[in-house]
């Protein structure tokens, strides 16, 4: 775990470019620092491996004050990837990756084996690339080598300062995917700096939005999107962002919370009465009446009620059992697909135990789009 405690930094002893910064980064988390140019992202990152030192305050790694660790030793145990890759042009790919293993005096065979492993890991054929020089590789390939090099000695902590920002959008997206896959396997503690909110939302377990050397909001991507703490964060996120990231809008965010229900033992006359009162032609038939948690058993629409209005008929006799439900965390893209593919106008939402939580209807979705459009026009 990395912890900043009231860390300040000034370069000229007048202005604090980092101002009383508190930040906790849990082990195995990928935390993104985002903010405008000059907000202090790189400075914050470089204090972690002591390329810069705080003017005041403390930084701990796994509870240990980093000022008590030899800086060279510290740096050898922290992977570091920067935008301009920083590969040495006169060294082969293999030698570049083996830089720190060499400093750590690993034997040749061990180094080779590790380098081949790493090239595989970042999607480059070892035989083909290990003896080439950096300028014989594309920008994206060089950046992959940068990542491989950072992983060479299997450090717990990896710092990445805008590692993908010089790449074209397609290569960039590819490398983001690869980083996520890598992280899924390796669970490193990663601090990742970017200017790009899309990248932050995609990669971050948490995002720290920085301004003038301070962290304005530190939260999950979902919360940054949905509950920006102030106008600055909202502006930074972009008002229409939710609509650029529909996979972050979940069924539970859009569902109507109290859908019309009817219990199994009720009659068609009661069904008609509820439909009229709630102005709907779609009722969820549930196992129990009243306010208790309910499970959906089927649905009732005018079709099921047709010619079945006598009072000896109960909902349990006529309910339609072919219906779909989705979990609360089903995202908007999936919801829309399910509704489209199955030609649904209504989609109940249930929790993990199958209890009814709400209902998504065509109207809820239309209203949502209407809101988004009016936000968009205001922005």
Ligand X SMILES: Nc1ncnc2c1ncn2[C@@H]1O[C@H](COP(=O)(O)OP(=O)(O)OP(=O)(O)O)[C@@H](O)[C@H]1O
Residues 150-209 binding ligand X (CB under 6 A) are 195
Answer for which of 16, 39, 49, 330 binds ligand X (CB under 6 A) is 39
Cα–Cα–Cα angle for 273, 278, 281, rounded to 5 degrees: 75
Answer for which of 21, 25, 41, 85 binds ligand X (CB under 6 A) is 41
Nearest to 174 by CA among 144, 136, 135: 144
What distance in Å separates the CA atoms of residue 98 and residue 317, rounded to the nearest whole number? 73
Contact (Cβ atoms closer than 8 angstroms) between residue 330 and residue 250: yes
Contacts of 346 (CB under 8 A, 6+ apart): 282, 299, 359, 360, 361, 362
Region from 39-47, 58-66, 169-177, 233-241 binding ligand X, contact rule CB under 6 A: 39-47
Number of H helices and E strands in the chain, helices first, is 18, 16
Region from 40-48, 111-119, 170-178, 334-342 binding ligand X, contact rule CB under 6 A: 40-48
Query: From the CB of 50, what's the least distance to ligand X, in Å?
Result: 14
Q: Which is nearer to ligand X, 19 or 95 (CB)?
A: 19
Region from 39-47, 136-144, 177-185, 238-246 binding Mg ion, contact rule CB under 5 A: 39-47
Q: Which is nearer to ligand X, 13 or 311 (CB)?
A: 13
Query: From the CB of 168, what's the least distance to ligand X, in Å?
Result: 20
Q: Which is nearer to Mg ion, 203 or 285 (CB)?
A: 203
Q: Which is nearer to ligand X, 39 or 141 (CB)?
A: 39
Pairing of strands 157-161, 78-82: parallel
Contacts of 128 (CB under 8 A, 6+ apart): none
Query: From the CB of 120, what's the least distance to Mg ion, in Å?
Result: 31
Cβ neighbours of 104 (radius 10 Å) = 13
Residues 9-38 binding ligand X (CB under 6 A) are 11, 17, 35, 37-38
Q: What tokens does 259 get?
A: 């859908």
Region from 22-30, 42-50, 226-234, 348-356 binding Mg ion, contact rule CB under 5 A: 42-50
For every residue of 197-265, DSSP letters joined together read HHHHHHH-SEEEEEETTEEEEEE-HHHHHH--SSHHHHHHH-TTHHHH-GGGSBHHHHSBSS--EEETT
Tell me, residue by residue from 337 to 366, as one string, x for binding to ligand X by CB under 6 A and - for no binding.
------------------------------
Q: Does 183 bind Mg ion (CB under 5 A)?
A: no
Binding site for ligand X (CB under 6 A): 11, 17, 35, 37-43, 195
Binding site for Mg ion (CB under 5 A): 42
């Amino acid at each position: 775990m990395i912890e900043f405690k009231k860390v300040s930094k000034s370069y000229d002893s007048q202005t604090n470019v980092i101002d009383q910064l508190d930040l906790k980064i849990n082990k195995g988390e990928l935390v993104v620092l985002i903010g405008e140019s000059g907000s202090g992202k790189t400075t914050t990152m470089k204090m972690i491996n002591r390329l810069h030192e705080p003017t005041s305050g403390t930084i701990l790694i796994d509870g240990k004050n980093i000022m008590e660790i030899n800086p060279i030793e510290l740096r050898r145990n922290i992977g570091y990837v920067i935008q301009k890759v920083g590969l040495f042009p006169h060294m082969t790919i293999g030698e570049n990756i083996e830089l720190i293993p060499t400093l750590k005096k690993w034997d040749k065979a061990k180094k080779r084996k590790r380098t081949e492993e790493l090239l595989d890991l970042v999607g480059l054929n070892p035989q083909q690339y290990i003896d080439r020089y950096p300028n014989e590789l594309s920008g994206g390939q060089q950046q992959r080598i940068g990542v491989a090099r950072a992983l060479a000695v299997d450090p717990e902590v990896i710092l990445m300062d805008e590692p993908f920002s010089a790449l074209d959008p397609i290569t960039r997206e590819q490398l983001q995917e690869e980083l996520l896959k890598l992280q899924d396997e390796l669970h490193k503690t990663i601090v990742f700096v970017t200017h790009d909110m899309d990248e932050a939302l995609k990669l971050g377990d948490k995002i720290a939005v920085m301004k003038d050397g301070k962290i304005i909001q530190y939260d999950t991507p979902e919360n940054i999107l949905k509950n920006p703490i102030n106008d600055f964060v909202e502006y930074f996120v972009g008002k229409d962002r939710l609509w650029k990231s529909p996979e972050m809008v979940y069924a539970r965010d859009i569902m109507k919370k109290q859908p019309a229900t009817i219990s199994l033992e009720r009659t068609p006359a009661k069904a008609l009465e509820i439909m009229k009162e709630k102005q709907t032609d779609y009722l969820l038939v549930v196992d129990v009446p009243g306010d208790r948690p309910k499970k959906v058993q089927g649905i009732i629409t005018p079709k099921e009620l047709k010619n079945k209005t006598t009072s000896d008929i109960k909902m349990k006799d006529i309910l339609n059992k072919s219906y779909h439900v989705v979990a609360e965390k089903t995202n908007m893209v999936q919801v829309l697909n399910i509704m489209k593919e199955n030609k649904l106008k209504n989609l109940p939402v249930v929790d993990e135990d199958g209890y009814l939580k709400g209902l998504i209807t065509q109207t809820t979705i239309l209203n949502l789009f209407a809101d988004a459009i009016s936000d968009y026009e205001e922005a």
